Structure 1
Amino acid sequence: MSEWELTHGDLPATWNSEGDLFPDSVGEPQRMHILGLAQTRLHEFPQESLLLAEVWRKSAHRVTGPAERILEERLVEVLRRADDSLGRLDGYRAYWGENDDAFVSLADKITVETALLALVARRHAGERPRVRLLVDRLARSLDPLVRSMRNEALLRRYPNGALSLAVGHAAVTALGIPDPEFDRLVKSALECDLLDCSERLNFRAMERRWMVGLLYAGADPSFDDLLPMSIATRQAHPIHMLATDIYALTHVPMFVTDFGSSAAPEVFPHASFRMSLDATAAWVVHAENFDLMGEVVLARELLGEPWTASHVLAWKTLEHAWDHLGFLASPSFSIKLLNGLPAEERCAYAFLHTYHTTYVAGMLSSVMLGAASSPPRQVVAPCGIGAAEASALREESRAAFAAALEFALGGPVPAVDVDRLAATACRDRGESALSAVRRLMALWSERGHRAPDAIADVLDGTGLPDVPLASSLADGLLTCAARTYDLVVLAELLRVVAANALPLTPTVAAAARFLARQQLPGGAIGGWFLDPRKRSSASAAEATTSLASALGALSVHPWLRERP
């Protein structure tokens, strides 16, 4: 087969020999590449002639067939676009507003991440002819970029910057294109005392060791001393994490497993990490953060962790966006801002705000191909909480409920009445768990929050039972409610969990404790009651009782009642 047939053979007839897609509404002179689906030439048609969102949907190349074929087509598409975009970086940079003296520019970052994409694709799917050919082509394109005169000059001036500059070289070397002279320069920087004259985040220290293992034959880097100081060893929860914390969490498996080429170290805390990852997967579905969505599912795949309902939902949501939009945007992408840019600047903006998410999805497709992985119909149960934590949660929830009743009624409430009112709050409303959670998702939208656009389509396509789906959706929305301080939705969700005896997940426990932590010394619940005037208002007692009833319901959750 020719190189063209190997890399483009399965594309639909609307693609020409250059790989460009012509939407029906755009003639050949006005051809365009829409954010990774063709050679982006947005300036070749008048801005007012088409709504970009409509064009993207019309030009989306939706792949069908067996899961393995779909994954390969996705990967091939990402690799082709990555190679094409490398040749456009110089033109794009003019619109990114960077300082020419920046130590590591956006173009440098993109080049390194392209090299990592190629490396992961080669390792996990390189036996496939089209993938191998595209990776080889990409490696040749990367060679002069990662070993540029600029990079050499910077390595000589700033040996402590070797970590940022040398990853691309290490990856291209591993792809079969060595450069002994540049290699000597990189290794001299890595072996220089000045390398440690920069403060590094823990996962960046892991990246440094991983790169040493890539560059030095026979090296077997250990992460045992770094893991105890990592967020990966904590029971971190997205209710309390920043986006940067989650990126740190998902990067740890990349380095300690050599991007899935080896097992995690024996000291790796699989149980606590699985809890954090599952809770985060549930949240990103509601947040529609495709970047984190891809990284979370990739982390699961690199570690060989089982599929849970939350991971299935995350992957299916990612697939749905990829199919129906034709690209995967980062959280920073704005169609409104894109439309307001000059035509010649739109290409640069679109690439900058889609490339990372797309490359992560390409890596994920590679690893899933290598592992012959696809979401199953039967998933493992989400992480639960232990007996000791359950007992403590029951007592904390009941105590907070009793204190709230005392605040609302103006005096102590007999224990028997506390228990009776808690049981009343936990009463089943006669709706299924999934229906109840979807009702609260609608409430979430009514209260002015953004809800996932395609959740109905995604849910219908999972094939999973209602209870795992309801539990996962509840977990994700609980996290959203806590992060936005919407205590009304949070409390309603906790009531639904209790009334429908949904699994008592770490997210349910974290959300209940979050709500209890909003209780002031006098019993009122909510930060707004820090104002004495609001605390003494007529509505304070009603609001506190309504919120606290969720904790009361949780204190008699069937699973908690069965605990000693």
Structure 2
Amino acid sequence: MSADWPSLPAHLRTGRTRLDEEDAARRVLAGALRWIEAHLEWFAPRRWEEFLPRRPFRPGPLLELLGLVRVLDRSSLLPRDAPVPSRALTLAEEAVGDADFARGLHRGDAFFPYHLNLTALLELLGRPHPGLRAACEELLAADAGGHCRPYKPVLSRTELRYFIDRGGFTAPTALPGIGALYRESIAARSPDVLQLTGSETYALTHVLFYVTDFGHRRRLPGRSGAAAEVRETVRVLLGVHLARGGLDLLAELLLCDSALDDGRGDGRGDGQGDGHGHGSGPLRHAGWNALAAAQRGDGAVPSPLHRPEVLAGLTGDKAAAYLFGTCYHTTLAAALAAAVRKPGAPGTGPTRSIGGPLPRADPEEIRQWARKAAERAGTAPAAVRKAWAAHLDPLLALGVQAHDPDVLADVVRTAERLGHGDRPLVRSAAALLAAWEPGGHGARPEATRAWSV
């Protein structure tokens, strides 16, 4: 079997910051807002299209920006007359005033939910457009686009229901409530965290955005105990994308972690961590430091598409357009996560990295970590063993997703040495490892013999 480890982004090779969580989040938010303010002109569709490919929903970046403005406004972090909100609202009004927007709205096509959402956000932020609102109501009543039909993807229906409820529109009777839709979603269906793809992880984060109204509601629908399972899924994914340096999903998962935290001080929302004493606190602290370390001096947070070497070869408006196109979404996501986070909440102060940081998504780095932890498992202090155990699940997921039997064998072996061989995720990873091997005989002896203790 050929392992498949993606290249690590440049920012993961430049070191790590050592701020406490609150300082890191504050730095990320301040820098992001500074960069957004300096680049507001690029959110206008016409400006975007001078150098970047036309988007299917032309005001898409503006829609994302207004979502941030709404959370900043709700959290009293930025007054509406500040440059970012006021200019964003002006740009959005110009966009909906364009004849192209009205034509797109009345088509009632795949982008109808985004036309409706932009109309609603403008109204929520004090810039109502009654004619557009009336058109949205008529199109909803006529089932334009068939968006409410039960055969449509549950994420799409959840998104639309959230837009409808937030905007105060009349929901079609065919569209279930947000709670019923949540119970059909990936977040409520016990996803296999070892094998979640990037697109499935995005679906999970967005369901959680909508059902919590970006952290405004802190209780999930569903059976007792289900919320703890979701929090644990988010914790493991936070570690996976921290190790990979994927800043888009890292920011979104930090937002979800905040949205699911009820403030009891352990970062888990139920006061119990994952059932093994592993709260999200250390990973959350490392995540905020990772965003702060990766943030450019101008405040932009680079997306996975950003290549510093490409930017270095551009000048003038071409450079500005490239920078905007490859940074705006991640910068908005990071700012949104920082805005949703509760400043001064219990458990958000300095966090010492007991036992060392989570290894990066590099096979040799993970194997070295696994061998060290296994060799010292019998003599290490309890706090260090607990910290190492908290790293196991993200590392198992990384090994599974890279289809690397050597890494996976080493991490499974380390889990056994740390006394966690019976954990469900460890057992699942061991079963996959056995299935990968010819004849199904489990971990290859050569993967562990050299460091057997």
Letter in 1 for 2:252: E
Q: Of residues 79, 86, 95 in structure 1, which corresponds to 2:33?
A: 79
Letter in 2 for 1:120: V
Report whether the alignment pairs 1:515 with 2:441: no
CA contact (8 A) 1:93 1:348 kept: no
Q: CA deviation at 1:337?
A: 3.0
Distance change (3 Å), C-alpha of 1:326 and 1:116? closer
Q: CA deviation at 1:299?
A: 0.8
Residues 254-285 of structure 1: per-residue CA shift (max 9 Å, x gap): 11122222243432731221221111011111
CA distance in 2, matches of 1:505, 1:316: 29
Report whether the alignment pairs 1:118 with 2:69: yes
Distance change (3 Å), C-alpha of 1:344 and 1:218? closer
Determine the structure 2 residue equivalent to 1:183.
133
Cα RMSD (Å) of the superposition?
A: 4.0
TM superposition score normalised by structure 1: 0.62
Distance change (3 Å), C-alpha of 1:298 and 1:509? farther
Q: Which has the larger radius of gyration?
A: 1
Letter in 2 for 1:545: P
Q: CA deviation at 1:498?
A: 1.9
Q: Of residues 202, 206, 209 in structure 1, which corresponds to 2:154?
A: 202
Q: CA deviation at 1:79?
A: 3.4
CA distance in 2, matches of 1:442, 1:148: 49
Determine the structure 2 residue equivalent to 1:155.
105
Residues 346-384 of structure 1: per-residue CA shift (max 9 Å, x gap): 2212111111111111111111146847635689xxxxx
Determine the structure 2 residue equivalent to 1:391.
none
Which piece of structure 1 moves more, 210-219 or 246-255?
210-219
CA distance in 1, matches of 2:79, 2:357: 49
Distance change (3 Å), C-alpha of 1:70 and 1:338? closer
Determine the structure 1 residue equivalent to 2:243.
286
Determine the structure 2 residue equivalent to 1:212.
164
Higher relative CO (CA 8 A, sep ≥ 6), structure 1 or 2?
2
CA distance in 1, matches of 2:296, 2:310: 23
Report whether the alignment pairs 1:492 with 2:445: no
Letter in 1 for 2:178: F
Q: CA deviation at 1:494?
A: 1.8
Determine the structure 2 residue equivalent to 1:249.
204
Determine the structure 2 residue equivalent to 1:444.
364
Report whether the alignment pairs 1:167 with 2:117: yes
Distance change (3 Å), C-alpha of 1:213 and 1:442? closer
CA distance in 2, matches of 1:188, 1:441: 50
CA distance in 2, matches of 1:267, 1:181: 38
CA contact (8 A) 2:21 2:289 kept: no
CA distance in 2, matches of 1:506, 1:213: 38
Letter in 2 for 1:317: A
**Unaligned 5+ residue runs, structure 1?**
1-52, 380-432, 452-463, 526-542, 554-564
CA distance in 2, matches of 1:134, 1:437: 36
Q: Of residues 345, 361, 371 in structure 1, which corresponds to 2:334?
A: 361
Aligned residue-pair number: 401
The percentage of counterpart residues that share the same residue type is: 22
Distance change (3 Å), C-alpha of 1:331 and 1:160? closer
Residues 191-249 of structure 1: per-residue CA shift (max 9 Å, x gap): 22223168743222111111111222798982232123211012223431111100000
Q: Of residues 258, 262, 285 in structure 2, which corresponds to 1:312?
A: 285
Q: CA deviation at 1:252?
A: 1.0
TM superposition score normalised by structure 2: 0.75
Determine the structure 2 residue equivalent to 1:4.
none
Which piece of structure 1 moves more, 255-264 or 283-292?
255-264
Determine the structure 2 residue equivalent to 1:454.
none
CA distance in 2, matches of 1:487, 1:181: 60
CA distance in 2, matches of 1:160, 1:436: 44
CA distance in 2, matches of 1:489, 1:325: 38
Matched residue SS, 1:266: coil
CA contact (8 A) 1:119 1:175 kept: yes
CA contact (8 A) 1:263 1:303 kept: yes
CA contact (8 A) 2:215 2:340 kept: yes
Report whether the alignment pairs 1:479 with 2:397: yes
